[in-house]
Amino acid sequence: MNQRHYLLKGTMILTLTGLLTRIAGFFYKIFLSRTIGAAQIGLFQLTLPVCAFCMALSCGGIQTAVSRFTAECYAEKDRRSALRILACALLLSGGLSCVCSAALFFGAPRIARSFLLEPSCTALLQIVALSIPFSAIHGCIGGFFIGRKNVSVPSAAQFIEQFLRIAAVLFFFSFLQKNGQSMDAAVMALGQVAGELAAALFCVGHLFFGKSSPFFSDPDLSADESSQIRKFRRQGRARILRPNVWRSDMNRILSVSLPLGLNRMLVCVLQGIEAALLPQMLQRSGCDSSQALAVYGTLTGMALPLIMFPTAITTSLGTLLLPAVSEARALHQGKKISGTVDASFQGSLLLGLFFLGAFLLFGADIGALLFHSELAGIYTRKLALLCPFLYINTTLVSILHGLGATMLVTAWNIAGFGVRLVAILFFVPAAGIDGYLAGMLFSQALITVCSLFVLHRSSGFSSDLSDSLIRPALVCAASGAGLFLLQNVLPYLGRTSWGSLFCSACIYTAFFLLLAFFFLLQGSARRRLLRYPTRI
């Protein structure tokens, strides 16, 4: 499979899976918002940074290392090393995840009281702790299959995880309702455990018994290599994991996973500090405790997931770009890297501008129709300014990881969170949640500028301002203006209803695509878009 076909096919599969799971997640959030309320959602959201920290420590950096080194091994036709990498990763990640799970379970009361400043989170942390080992297994095996350019396995695992999570919550809701009990945030934690367990079992089953199992048959392996692997497995020998090779592979994994894991752990710590401070600072701005949790839950549990919905596309592309860039780097293909960077930047920026206009135009209606919350619609429109930066950063950061610039990404993430913490401490008490939103915007812009600067220095990437920013921005503005004028002529399009929203969204999309076709595929922009895909 050539690189372009792999990226297109893999992105389509991962995007379709991401869209399906996110659509299901939206209905899930709507159901939760109407059954347990925004305050309980906000309570569960407080536990996520702590859980993410434990997962980053146990599997975050290791999973990325597996994907990167598996891609390099397959590029160099060294399949045995790929299997050794996976075995080392599972041992490392499995051991760390069990330690983290135990530490979180028994330390939950102190963490909830001293760090999250919310003792009622204790039970939630203890339940979520049970999911960490399953998440580690799921992540390592998924990274291995992505490195092999087989995205169907991690896609199916993601799909199973989301739907088993929702099914578990619905089961507990039905059980509690029959017994006359009310549902709270604990069912969300139980659903997370059920989803991770199902995904881990699926990945393990596919690794050992699936059609693409490397232990039985591998279409990329020669007949001799496949027979040798089956022989080693049947005889129970550990020749492919000799002590010296074992140490070498462990060192390779640690060389990538340690700085990347440190990055994610620092990010999780900062997210936890942010999650603990924001409700406290909101209280200083005039909210009581319940109102602060409701605002935090509405922002992080309703509006922000809506803004992040289109990242199903950029996250899928970023997931595939990391091993693709790693492979190109191993083969010293500089032109392929440069073309990949340019195509990814142009596509992510265009997508970001499209959804910037969409959320500005329809954010209020979406919040009202989906969540029955006027506040969710207000926050969605304000967060729309993040779209171009969020979507660009998703792809560019993945490329930088593939190029080995992990420490630089760490520094930018820390700087970005520093900006947000400053906004929480100094601007939220005076300006309310708007001070935090301004901090988010500035931090994402900082990461984008830093990423583009390093990519320019390392790969020679450069982009014409007119083609990359001015023309797409004008297309976005013209599409929104055209819809606004049409709404004045046809009042039906301005109503708050699903039919009106659907018609308006279709008209806006048609305007945007037509203008993009006529004004973006011209001159140097057209030459770039037609040239770089052949490089990828």
Tokens 């900082």 identify what position?
A: 446
pLDDT average, residue stretch 129-154: 83
* Top-confidence residue, 165 or 225: 165
pLDDT average, residue stretch 114-130: 84
CB 476 within 8 A of CB 353: yes
Q: What is the pLDDT of residue 329?
A: 66
* Top-confidence residue, 455 or 243: 455
241 has a pLDDT exceeding 60: no
The DSSP-derived string for 218-230 is: -TTS-HHHHHHHH
Whole-number Å distance between alpha carbons of 290 and 447: 33
Phi-psi region of 243 (alpha: psi -120 to 50; beta: other; left: phi over 0): alpha
Range from 206-220, 263-277, 456-470, 496-510 carrying the lowest mean pLDDT: 206-220
Spatial neighbors of 438 by CB under 8 A, at least 6 apart, are 423, 427, 431
For residue 243, the one-letter residue type is P
Tokens 């279409």 identify what position?
A: 219
Alpha helix ranges (H) inside 148-242:
152-178, 186-209, 223-235
pLDDT average, residue stretch 145-150: 78
Token representation of residue 209 = 């018994």
Q: What is the pLDDT of residue 35?
A: 77
Question: What whole-number percentage of the chain has pLDDT above 90?
Answer: 1
* Top-confidence residue, 26 or 49: 49
What confidence tier does 326 reach under pLDDT thresholds 50, 70, 90? low
For residue 234, the one-letter residue type is R
What confidence tier does 464 reach under pLDDT thresholds 50, 70, 90? low
What confidence tier does 171 reach under pLDDT thresholds 50, 70, 90? confident
pLDDT average, residue stretch 445-454: 85
117 has a pLDDT exceeding 70: yes
Tokens 């490329």 identify what position?
A: 399
447 has a pLDDT exceeding 50: yes
Q: Residue 359's closest CA among 294, 321, 392, 311? A: 311
Q: What is the pLDDT of residue 525?
A: 46
Tokens 């702790």 identify what position?
A: 129
pLDDT average, residue stretch 97-119: 86
CB 399 within 8 A of CB 454: no
Range from 15-24, 226-235, 289-298, 426-435 carrying the lowest mean pLDDT: 226-235
What confidence tier does 237 reach under pLDDT thresholds 50, 70, 90? very low
Range from 27-41, 81-95, 371-385, 422-436 carrying the lowest mean pLDDT: 27-41
Q: What is the pLDDT of residue 156?
A: 84
Token representation of residue 228 = 């040798």
Token representation of residue 58 = 């146990």
pLDDT digits (tens, 9 = 90+) for 363-378: 888 888 877 778 888 8
Whole-number Å distance between alpha carbons of 109 and 38: 23
295 has a pLDDT exceeding 80: yes
Cα 461 to chain centroid, rounded: 25
* Top-confidence residue, 533 or 319: 319
**Sign of the dihedral through C-alpha 408, 410, 414, 420:** positive
CA angle 156, 158, 164 (to 5 degrees): 95
The DSSP-derived string for 390-433 is: HHHHHHHHHHHHHTT-HHHHHHHHHHHHHHHHHHHHHTHHHHTH
Whole-number Å distance between alpha carbons of 471 and 218: 47
* Top-confidence residue, 148 or 328: 148
- What average pLDDT is seen over the chain? 77
pLDDT digits (tens, 9 = 90+) for 465-515: 666 678 888 888 888 888 888 877 777 776 777 888 888 888 888 888 888
CB 333 within 8 A of CB 72: no
Q: Residue 520's closest CA among 313, 347, 390? A: 347
524 has a pLDDT exceeding 50: no
Whole-number Å distance between alpha carbons of 311 and 499: 25
Number of H helices, E strands in the chain: 23, 0
Q: What is the total residue count of the chain?
A: 536
CA angle 488, 353, 458 (to 5 degrees): 170
Token representation of residue 505 = 């969204």
169 has a pLDDT exceeding 60: yes
For residue 454, the one-letter residue type is V
Question: What is the b/e burial string over 246-255, where b = at least 16 CB atoms within 10 angstroms of the residue's CB?
Answer: beebbebbbe
- Taking the whole predicted model, whether its pTM rises above 0.85 is answered as no
Q: Residue 313's closest CA among 7, 16, 6, 5? A: 16
Q: What is the pLDDT of residue 441?
A: 92
